Amino acid sequence: MESKTMKVNPILVKEREKATFNSEEFTNVFDGGADNTNIRRRLTDFFMNDERFDDNVPIEYLSYAERYEEALKRSCILFEKLIEWQQTHGDGIEIFRTVLGGNIADALIKDGMPLVINYTMFLPAIFNMGNIDQQAKWIERVLKMQIIGTYAQSELGHGSFVRGIETTATYDPKTEEFILNTPTLTSHKWWPAGLGHTANYAVVFAQLCSQEKCYGPHAFLMQLRNEETHMPLPGITIGELGSKLGLNGINQGFMGLNNVRIPRANMLMKSAEILKDGTYVKNPSTKKSNYGTMMMVRVILVKWTVCIALAKAVTIATRYSCVRKQSEMRPGEGECYVIEYKTQQYKLFPHIASVMMISNAALYLTQMHDSTKLDIHNSELDETIAEIHALSCCLKALTATDAVRGIEECRKACGGQGYLTSSGFPNLYSSTTAVETYEGETTVLMLQTGRYLLKMWKQANQGIKLAGLMEYYNTHASKTDIPWRNTFHNLNDAYKRVAIGLIRDTSLKIDCMMSSGVIREEAWNIYSNNLVLCAEAHCRSFMMDRYERLINTETLSQELRNVLTQLGELYGVYYLLKNFGYFIMYTNIQNEDISSIRDWQNSLLTAIRPNAIPIVDSFDISDKVLQSAIGAYDGNVYERLFSEAKKSPLNSQPVPAAFEKYIKPLKSRL
């Protein structure tokens, strides 16, 4: 929150006086506890108040090469400060997740960090897939940035289908080396962050071949560049992909390999290894090792990228809507503030509710992941790990889609001003929509969850009592005859019944096709859209269930409980009305109940309205992190817009050189 000594727009002062709850209590809930709030604020102050991060020239006015250089410079400063913080406070590696995965790094380096993959994927890959000796050899060098790594799995022709990658690693027992090649154009590594010109090492995924047999994709730690000169090593062709919709500082690249040899010991060997003579020895599941890295990344993305991005968007749009006037609601009474229009409330408030739903779900997912990450190879945790994998897939996919749509709706709700880069929306949109495709494309992830849900449904049908997140399979399989009432508990119950109804019917359809002779994979493809619906329904049901547990927490004040309940009800009603056909099919909601539910939604918009500004304030996003001319805490929208406009390089001279160069000669020729 900003200093109270700032000159604040009187309109927002009045809005903040309407609060019916304690803002600090709300912030603590949003952060997952007062301790988390405290550490986040301390970290924000420590990093954001460093003058070296101040914008002398907004990055929008830099050239493509200058933007990469600026991102790299800021990344180096950031990592220096991270080490300084660790040395001063004694925090472990977890502090990297808090800073790099959160809004601090995004605010300091708006174009993306070319070094971030070194800590978010390269280092975890060594933890998850390397054996003890390999961890001892490499991890300290990574932490000291003697090694700057990337994660090279995707290829030009292959993304989520890892089994289809074409890069090969053929073992040569004579030299005890692997020979790596990208034999085709489509086998070139494509998209790894930092690969273009930043990383000097990579975890490379390739088809392992030994003794004339292929053992499928495995991970290899490969040096790419000379550690002193940074020149690419012989046989390695590296380049950068070029301009993208956003995140142009990340330096994503391509790589070709031509008979590149690496030592046998550079195969990451926690799950499998090649002996000196070329014999392949398999340990516990290789797939679980790779899951460990990908699950961790998806957990981070939901809480620290998706949730925070949407929180920024609703903060900007809500503050702007309370300051902006547009049209007369009643003739002769003058223009009214945009926030008073029900259409504007409908555009914004459901997305405010989504922020709390996503945050609460992400906190639980993080707890689940952290409780198992050190024992990923423990066979007793197989079911839990499979459950976390399925949940992280659908939660990452669904929340990213919801957030991108929410950010765009918030932008449009701000009219033309939202189109300005200085509003903050263009960068928010471009960086968040990338989440819909990287680390698992949305549909692919939903299908993975959908197949898992059908597997669990078959177990339930065999009389197996399911536990954990699937426990509702045991209790909500039949439609209830109890008349519908507008309560959060009934919403939660309805979402469970919709999920089970869709899963049950999809399972029956696929079984029917298979009984007629259609192979399972083809049947899955025919009903793949149904599988996506199953995954979405399960995910929303999970979010509703976790949220009901939150609002029933005994330690909440009644004032905050009321506000959180209103937000949860609005979320539930909003998506119910968007999919009411399924609720009529599978729950006790009747056609005649829809009108009542629409009225309920309208009354929730009215109830939330007085707390709109206090709620977004409680997300506790400082101006330096928010970076928006129209969404700042002080509400001085027009002054800030004018100040940002003056920064355009075209305003440095009253007459641009281009006038003399092009327009004036043209006028003389006509």
Point out the residues that are catalytic: 439
**Count of other CB atoms within 10 angstroms of residue 51:** 5
Map tokens 């390695």 to a residue: 236
Handedness of CA 339, 342, 348, 354 (dihedral sign): positive
Strand, coil or helix: what is 560? Answer: helix
Pair of tokens at residue 547: 């949220």
**Count of other CB atoms within 10 angstroms of residue 4:** 7
Residues 6 or more apart in contact with residue 327 via CB below 8 angstroms: 335, 336
Q: What is the DSSP string of 63-104?
A: -HHHHHHHHHHHHHHHHHHHHHHHHHH---THHHHHHHSSHH
Q: In terms of residues, how long is the chain?
A: 670
Map tokens 């002398």 to a residue: 56
Alpha-carbon torsion, ordered 362, 405, 107, 13, to 10 deg: -90
The answer to whether 449 and 388 have CB atoms below 8 angstroms apart is no
**Taking Cα atoms as reference points, which of 641, 605, 608, 638 lies closest to residue 11?**
638
**Taking Cα atoms as reference points, which of 91, 519, 433, 83 lies closest to residue 244?**
433
**Count of other CB atoms within 10 angstroms of residue 259:** 10
Map tokens 């049901």 to a residue: 541
Which amino acid belongs to residue 1? M
The answer to whether 224 and 266 have CB atoms below 8 angstroms apart is no
| Type and span of the H or E element at 390 | helix 382-413
Q: How many helices (H) and strands (E) does the chain have?
A: 26, 13
Distances (CA, A) of 121 to 61, 153, 204, 265: 31, 11, 12, 20
Pair of tokens at residue 124: 């975890």
Pair of tokens at residue 218: 């495995």
Residues 6 or more apart in contact with residue 639 via CB below 8 angstroms: none
The answer to whether 335 and 327 have CB atoms below 8 angstroms apart is yes
